[in-house]
Structure 1
């Protein structure tokens, strides 16, 4: 082979010349294989392309029988070519015919060739085909020859991505790159999005690694860092996010804190002094951070990995002169954003009016970007395997945030079905909006209180839009989760005051900090726990760290000065814990009075019933509290010993199981006997069929996500709850002899009496 240092560069220069000349796709591919064969001094060069039917078709060759082109094919894992496609790694053999996977194709005439080098044609980690060179002599190809072949395979991958090779197959088969795919993930935000893919690239590819002048690179870095800091400062002071959504200032301030970290900048400078370009130095430091953080089991540190990726990406774009946000001309009006994962601030870079959906390869329900996506109402699906490597920019996509399904390049019948689903949802939403000002009263005259679950300021307008009676659960921890430092008492007070102002005369039930477990804060040292859901979290953490809880209590009491304050404590497993928390509230109230500060006109304290042990303390509990709320998500999880985050068991038991409904009925009955208001604010309340059961069990107040208010209100206005209660309680009677689920009973009842679901 020629001088190894020049080979790849000479070949790339020749291939650039080929690509620059107007010609047909087949002619261009034929020229490419001739140049590759000449460059690596090979007697054969062949290109196999993966079709949608899973076969690798010979698309071009120099050296084999030309008549075999478009007539020879191999299955993935068949022959040496199929083995390379299956394993996505090179194969370098001095005697190919001795390999156990060798498959002889007589029409190609390749039996006279012995040495074999094949590399996968990859794009974003996805195999699109195989590039092969062969020689008659027994030889092992050098590392430089392997590198040259891998480099040129990238050129062919770009031809495939551009669609140049789609129509030249004799059999008219579609390429694997363009076939429709149905992918499964985890639903993170309800809604249906139809649109076209917009790839959000978490990393900028660096091609120039070696610095020519270290001082020049340090100067470039210094300017890029300063520009990045100014950009973040400007977003905080003048950006749309800062102006309209105050919570997101906390996210941006976290990025600014990282951007001003001298340790991070110093490591990049050291890498430059060792001979790297500024871009390569940023990538190296980012790679080191990633390798270190991936070894961490702390969920907060793993979440920070994406924040550091975001920050390094911003710096790389500054160095390479690329815009920070998506170019307005490139962002389609119906964009579906595709990402491995992304920081919350990166989502805010996009024009929200153009986003129809978000698909994440890694994102989970508790990540910052998922919280922000839900607040913005963007249909979102996470944990979609390999979505980044499977999708191409501009691909048609359907995101079903209700079922967790993603349809990539959907066939027309699927697209039409979803388009009708979107129209149907729009019609239903219009019907629900007409119910906004109508009373939530069942057909037989039972008044039901329908409220919202909320946690961010952007949730508050939904009260007016949905016609909800108030906020049945305000998750105060969301404000803490998107902050880079513990929010000070005055910050918390302003935030809670804004919430109460927005609610007006409608009640707001705040939940004290429900942190710990998978909800970790950057400024609170977390501990490793084998079962974090049942560990040091919520009220347990608050009572053990009284300073943290007292600060929040003082802020809530001050914000509600002259008004009613409704506050409940999560994860209470013994009534004594409520008494401890109540004593803390009384101490903070007395403190404010002593200092002549405003205090609430009424203070009502309650608990979340989500630990089964409280089921055996209900009499004592209802003597102590002013109200209670059932957290059905955790209660069901603990009641059935089912981890709702474990896909193997999460769907093992139906939430409409008779045993669980008996527990809920016990709570409702005991609360009514004690004349203590009780609500249910878990996922059960937001699904019409499950909400039917809750009303029949005696719950008169339910709280749910904003999008669920319309469907649930429509259902209850068509429901004779007294009639359903008789039928349901008869089915739940132990004398019935069959526990199981009552889901079929509820569906049959709704169908029989025309209850809208």
Structure 2
């Protein structure tokens, strides 16, 4: 609860008394809604609870018609209440009836109420309901009131989860008793094959004491728990001194989170407002989960898992619980079943026993997956309902090569698993032998393979993979990890370290790419119906040039005496590129006047992510532009009007299709004619078959995720581009939705190594 609200402490105190009092859970919930309405000076307070089937049921109200309780229901996404649950974000409207999402329920008697403010009720990282207040007049709710309602909602969510109001099966996982073999389909996050016994990780700690009378005592408890946690992490670092460098670097970065003053200060503020230390940690964790869960960029989003890991560790130190499976007796071969997992939590387990990891959530960029790659542990994610399908001690096979899980497998599956394990070891040894060899085709075409990066730990991959440099360095990570805008000095220090780690290899810095779904805690923006096409990326920095100029100033200072490559994202027109480049020229002149030693050289380019820029290419290549980099992920989703974060349409369109081949071929021809270097970064470059097609079309620089380096280099060294190119060009005029199968067949017939 915000300290700026003079009623904050007294309202929390009265809530504590109600929660500690007698009566049934429903009686207490009724009293809580009445108390909130009175304490916040509103005419209505209503609590909606999410039931099975994605339905929000009115559970309690002060102000609406009582007969509507347990009868009024809204689907998630329906009405303003459903919208809050769907987007997991607060909503403040002074005229609810005029809002396009408003839905009228006559049985509630809300005809006389005009304004509405609502916040999601969150427990365990998921929305379990909505808390809303309403007023008769068109009230402009203030941010301070929203902060207060969010804190009350956090306390109420814990009450709902622990009071038995909602059936247990609707709140969390429950294992089944199946005995027949079962095959499940997920997403491969790290390849490999493992066979073992299912073990539930169960990292989340249940918070029982939510409010506290003595803030100083709670702050002292927080400091003691923080010290214990830091000591435990330091001990874990010492134990892993001989582990692969990727694991150590991930853990060192994770350990730095424990000293983040912004994170600690936010927890302390909630304690001073009247929450217990445990509740304050949970409140800050919920806030971070909701903010980052809206981000579709997997690299950014998966930082959420580190923060969850840290919060749960701190909660265990506060409560004295040490309840993860890592601390108990484990089978010889473990398949770990988790909702999510942090990197330090993974390292708590004996790597000699860990044979695989299965996640309900997750994506390739999460730190736990990076650690798993270093330890050669297969990981499968995005398996909702896994706890209902896999029981503890079930025998399980994790097939990370194909994204499959076999529960209680038969003997034939077990034999196939053992063959797969031997084949994987052979392939890994081959990738290691290729590391220091060039990415050169059979007919002498040399390709530069770069990596994508965004954290210090990613720079380790330069040496580990033999990459030619960093083709995309995402500079927005520090902006998202801090509670306020990073200073020029802190940015300069960061970029200088990146360049130092790169040595003589190039690093292409992409200027800050935020907005849309990449939210910053200190930038308030209005909700947008289509954030991917809204106020984001270069559109923000061109509208707020001081932010762009400060970043460019830091890059120029960091690159003093060294080469600097910088590119601007989400450029839609030549005029936008001109404006962004002019900002760089202004900063370069400014630094010269200061006497700052300039970079040894400066190359300036643009991302090509917006289709409009494709039809402005003749004008673009006449500009002082040094290179163009295709951002394939955004370019293809805009081209096909298909949200890549929406599973219903993300796989509907294939990059290996005639429209894409024609578009990329045209782009290569224009850039080659103008003598402008062209590269591509994105998921397409990480897939061996797709990478071969890109090279056949004329791309000579690819920037890809580090795990794709070995397979892509192996494929390139096996191909004859002179044979592949005519075949690829001949496919660009076909009417087919995809030509992937034809390309794969051609590759097999010609002995190209794709597996």
TM-score strictly above 0.5? yes
* CA-to-aligned-CA distance 1:490-540 (integer Å, 9 cap, x gap): 333233222222222222212122222232233333542222222222211
1: CA distance between counterparts of 2:258 and 2:360?
A: 23
Following superposition, the deviation at residue 205 of structure 1 comes to 5.3
User: Which residue number in structure 2 is paired with residue 741 of structure 1?
Assistant: 738
SS of the aligned residue for 1:464 comes to helix
Following superposition, the deviation at residue 627 of structure 1 comes to 0.4
2: CA distance between counterparts of 1:644 and 1:753?
A: 32
SS of the aligned residue for 2:496 comes to helix
Q: 1:290 to 1:697 in 2, by over 3 A?
A: closer
Alignment of 1:384-399 (within 5 A): 384-399=383-398
Q: Alignment partner for residue 299 of structure 1, among 289, 294, 297?
A: 294
8 Å contact from structure 1 (residues 368, 482) kept in 2: no
1: CA distance between counterparts of 2:272 and 2:291?
A: 23
* C-alpha RMSD of the superposition: 4.1
Give yes or no for the alignment of 1:516 onto 2:515: yes
2: CA distance between counterparts of 1:307 and 1:500?
A: 25
User: Which residue number in structure 1 is paired with residue 33 of structure 2?
Assistant: none
2: CA distance between counterparts of 1:654 and 1:445?
A: 29
User: Which residue number in structure 2 is paired with residue 699 of structure 1?
Assistant: 699
SS of the aligned residue for 1:572 comes to coil
2: CA distance between counterparts of 1:292 and 1:500?
A: 34
8 Å contact from structure 1 (residues 190, 400) kept in 2: yes
SS of the aligned residue for 2:405 comes to strand
2: CA distance between counterparts of 1:698 and 1:339?
A: 43
SS of the aligned residue for 1:438 comes to coil
Q: 1:754 to 1:330 in 2, by over 3 A?
A: same
Q: 1:598 to 1:717 in 2, by over 3 A?
A: same
8 Å contact from structure 1 (residues 376, 458) kept in 2: no
SS of the aligned residue for 2:649 comes to coil
User: Which residue number in structure 1 is paired with residue 461 of structure 2?
Assistant: 462
Q: 1:637 to 1:617 in 2, by over 3 A?
A: same
Give yes or no for the alignment of 1:671 onto 2:671: yes
User: Which residue number in structure 1 is paired with residue 539 of structure 2?
Assistant: 540
2: CA distance between counterparts of 1:528 and 1:460?
A: 35
The two structures have a TM-score, normalised by structure 1, of 0.66
User: Which residue number in structure 1 is paired with residue 721 of structure 2?
Assistant: 721
Give yes or no for the alignment of 1:635 onto 2:635: yes
2: CA distance between counterparts of 1:529 and 1:416?
A: 53
1: CA distance between counterparts of 2:398 and 2:496?
A: 37
User: Which residue number in structure 2 is paired with residue 608 of structure 1?
Assistant: 607
SS of the aligned residue for 1:623 comes to coil
* CA-to-aligned-CA distance 1:208-259 (integer Å, 9 cap, x gap): 9899xx99x9999676434312124446877629984454355334598347
8 Å contact from structure 2 (residues 219, 268) kept in 1: no
User: Which residue number in structure 2 is paired with residue 51 of structure 1?
Assistant: none
Q: Alignment partner for residue 257 of structure 2, among 251, 259, 272?
A: 251
Q: Alignment partner for residue 225 of structure 1, among 222, 226, 230?
A: 222
8 Å contact from structure 1 (residues 375, 458) kept in 2: no
2: CA distance between counterparts of 1:599 and 1:179?
A: 68
User: Which residue number in structure 2 is paired with residue 413 of structure 1?
Assistant: 412
1: CA distance between counterparts of 2:684 and 2:301?
A: 31
Q: 1:366 to 1:511 in 2, by over 3 A?
A: same
Following superposition, the deviation at residue 602 of structure 1 comes to 0.5
1: CA distance between counterparts of 2:301 and 2:707?
A: 31
Give yes or no for the alignment of 1:712 onto 2:712: yes
* CA-to-aligned-CA distance 1:619-663 (integer Å, 9 cap, x gap): 122222100111111111111111112121122122111111100
What count of residue pairs does the alignment treat as equivalent? 570
SS of the aligned residue for 1:646 comes to coil
2: CA distance between counterparts of 1:381 and 1:387?
A: 11
SS of the aligned residue for 2:271 comes to helix
2: CA distance between counterparts of 1:455 and 1:192?
A: 29
Give yes or no for the alignment of 1:261 onto 2:267: yes
SS of the aligned residue for 1:567 comes to strand
* CA-to-aligned-CA distance 1:661-699 (integer Å, 9 cap, x gap): 100001111110000110111211121211121111111
Q: 1:746 to 1:363 in 2, by over 3 A?
A: closer
User: Which residue number in structure 2 is paired with residue 120 of structure 1?
Assistant: none
2: CA distance between counterparts of 1:346 and 1:508?
A: 32
2: CA distance between counterparts of 1:535 and 1:373?
A: 36
Q: 1:468 to 1:560 in 2, by over 3 A?
A: same
1: CA distance between counterparts of 2:335 and 2:443?
A: 45
8 Å contact from structure 2 (residues 218, 271) kept in 1: no
User: Which residue number in structure 1 is paired with residue 135 of structure 2?
Assistant: none
User: Which residue number in structure 2 is paired with residue 382 of structure 1?
Assistant: 381
User: Which residue number in structure 1 is paired with residue 448 of structure 2?
Assistant: 449
8 Å contact from structure 1 (residues 250, 482) kept in 2: no
* CA-to-aligned-CA distance 1:329-377 (integer Å, 9 cap, x gap): 6466755443223566655666677655443324467877678877987
Moved more, 372-381 or 603-612: 372-381
SS of the aligned residue for 1:460 comes to helix
1: CA distance between counterparts of 2:500 and 2:423?
A: 35
1: CA distance between counterparts of 2:586 and 2:233?
A: 37
8 Å contact from structure 1 (residues 574, 614) kept in 2: yes
User: Which residue number in structure 2 is paired with residue 506 of structure 1?
Assistant: 505
8 Å contact from structure 2 (residues 199, 325) kept in 1: no
8 Å contact from structure 1 (residues 184, 404) kept in 2: yes
User: Which residue number in structure 1 is paired with residue 436 of structure 2?
Assistant: 437
User: Which residue number in structure 2 is paired with residue 92 of structure 1?
Assistant: none
2: CA distance between counterparts of 1:178 and 1:264?
A: 48
User: Which residue number in structure 2 is paired with residue 111 of structure 1?
Assistant: none
8 Å contact from structure 1 (residues 671, 678) kept in 2: yes
SS of the aligned residue for 1:459 comes to helix
8 Å contact from structure 1 (residues 251, 483) kept in 2: no
Moved more, 672-681 or 403-412: 403-412
8 Å contact from structure 2 (residues 359, 381) kept in 1: yes
Q: 1:264 to 1:432 in 2, by over 3 A?
A: same
1: CA distance between counterparts of 2:590 and 2:210?
A: 64
Q: 1:334 to 1:646 in 2, by over 3 A?
A: same
8 Å contact from structure 1 (residues 296, 302) kept in 2: no
SS of the aligned residue for 1:176 comes to coil
8 Å contact from structure 1 (residues 259, 311) kept in 2: no
Q: 1:529 to 1:500 in 2, by over 3 A?
A: same
Following superposition, the deviation at residue 407 of structure 1 comes to 3.1
Q: 1:289 to 1:477 in 2, by over 3 A?
A: closer
User: Which residue number in structure 2 is paired with residue 35 of structure 1?
Assistant: none
8 Å contact from structure 1 (residues 197, 391) kept in 2: yes
Give yes or no for the alignment of 1:183 onto 2:167: no
Following superposition, the deviation at residue 292 of structure 1 comes to 9.1
2: CA distance between counterparts of 1:444 and 1:287?
A: 59
Q: 1:492 to 1:399 in 2, by over 3 A?
A: farther
SS of the aligned residue for 2:620 comes to helix
Give yes or no for the alignment of 1:200 onto 2:197: no
SS of the aligned residue for 1:461 comes to helix
Alignment of 1:456-605 (within 5 A): 456-605=455-604
Q: 1:362 to 1:437 in 2, by over 3 A?
A: closer
2: CA distance between counterparts of 1:525 and 1:210?
A: 29
Q: 1:338 to 1:668 in 2, by over 3 A?
A: same
SS of the aligned residue for 2:258 comes to helix
2: CA distance between counterparts of 1:401 and 1:505?
A: 35
8 Å contact from structure 1 (residues 517, 537) kept in 2: yes
Q: 1:486 to 1:370 in 2, by over 3 A?
A: farther
Unaligned runs of 5+ in 1: 1-149, 155-159, 162-174, 271-280
2: CA distance between counterparts of 1:708 and 1:685?
A: 8
8 Å contact from structure 2 (residues 258, 310) kept in 1: no
* CA-to-aligned-CA distance 1:367-413 (integer Å, 9 cap, x gap): 77678877987644333112234444454434444544333343343
Moved more, 639-648 or 365-374: 365-374
2: CA distance between counterparts of 1:672 and 1:332?
A: 59
User: Which residue number in structure 1 is paired with residue 159 of structure 2?
Assistant: none
Higher Cα Rg, which structure: 1
